[in-house]
A and B are shown apart, each in its own frame.
Chain A
Amino acid sequence: MKTIKVLGPGCPKCKTMFHNVEEAVKQLGIDAEITKVEDIEEMMKYNVLTTPVLVIDEQIKIKGRIAQIDEIKDLLK
């Protein structure tokens, strides 16, 4: 099972990112735990400067931009 986290304080970009992640997981039909991290202090543990951030299995994959569904699917494979 994969753990996926979307970091972002709740701006429209972060919401789109979260939605894209959900969609990608659904399309792949894989088992994954998706969490939204909105707390700044929690976010800073990942040492990021720009949001949204996509973290897969505790590894930062994308930061500062929205990833498209296909791109997320590639990262999850």
Chain B
Amino acid sequence: MFDWTQNFADWLTYTLFGLAKGNHFADALNFFVFDTIKIFILLFFMSILMGIINSYFPIDKVRYALQKRKWYGLDYFFASFFGTVTPFCSCSSVPLFIGFVQGGIPLGVTLAFLISSPLVDAVTVALFLGMFGMKATVIYVVSGIIISMIAGFILGKMKLEKMLTPWVKQIIENKQKANIEFEAEKTSLIQRFPVIFSEAMSIVKGVSVYIVVGVAIGGLMHGFIPTDFFEQYISKDNPLAVPIAVLLGVPMYTNTAGILPIMEVLVQKGIPLGTAVAFSMAVVALSFPEAMLLKKVMTGKMLAIFFGVVTLCIILSGYIFNLIL
């Protein structure tokens, strides 16, 4: 599908610029041109696709469905699944949290949604597709949903309600369910499309700098670091590699757009893919600024439990990835 991009990159570096194949700089440039074009195309289409799905299942509708009927445990799956198509901005996490628990949605289900929403998003999926291929992407998405479900379920069983901050507890007690209803969108997809399109454009624009910088660094590493360089340091057999990678990723607050292009090169140079996937998950799912925001609704103890359970789930899945990938 992207043969033409490779052909274009080859033509540009080796024919137009007349650089010799095998030259470190030429290889770096070739990689940069190929990767940037490919990622931008994938990113654009993925953002449009997610935008369309999301326009059929906006967050208000998801909440309405979750609180309307009894789900007998299926709600964990439902929340995690629809979390993936909901665009996420960490500053929405508090209103979202309150809105869900206010509507009577169980805490564990709310947390499952809160984990899966940033974990699987258009940008990450597009980059994964471009860098690691279809198989790794499917594994990422499916395991992202499973991790959210399991972490949400465990947290739900821990009965953390008493560790919420006082004003949130009050909201739950009062059950100010007042005007929670959902008005279905009456516009057709064609009418909604301009908004979907401009949202997709703003997603692409928002991460473009990160992608260019990330791919540029990746390109240089690609050209200059010998293949299998990392194999001697971080191998699949090193049992500490996964937890260390995950723990490094948790406090980081970077866009996956900047970090995944570098990751791609690290994997080419010998870092196990499963370790890289687990690291990426830790970077997107949890971050220091998000913890600061969530402090408004959770006590420090609950926040620590929340981060701890999610981190453990990601570490475990890192080991599983390394076994199956």
Contacts and interface: CB of A to CB of B under 8 A. Distances in A.
A65 B47 CA distance: 14
A40 interface: yes
A41 B95 contact: no
A43 B89 contact: no
A49 B18 CA distance: 55
A48 interface: yes
Interface size class of A (residues with CB under 8 A): 10 to 19
Contacts of B90: 11
B95 A43 contact: yes
B7 interface: no
Contacts of A47: 99, 178-180
Q: Is the interface of B mostly helix, strand, loop or mixed?
A: helix
B202 A49 contact: no
Interface residues of B, number: 26
B202 A66 contact: yes
B167 A41 contact: yes
A28 to B, nearest CB: 21
A14 B95 CA distance: 14
A24 to B, nearest CB: 16
Contact of A68 (B59, B89, B91, B198): B198
15 contacts: A9-B293, A10-B91, A13-B89, A14-B91, A40-B95, A44-B102, A47-B180, A49-B96, A50-B59, A50-B89, A50-B92, A51-B89, A51-B91, A64-B92, A65-B195
Interface of A: 8-11, 13-14, 40-41, 43-44, 47-51, 64-66, 68
Interface of B: 59-60, 63, 87, 89-92, 94-96, 98-100, 102, 167, 171, 178-180, 195, 198-199, 202, 293, 296
List the 3 closest pairs (A to B, CB-CB), nearest first: A11-B91, A49-B99, A50-B92
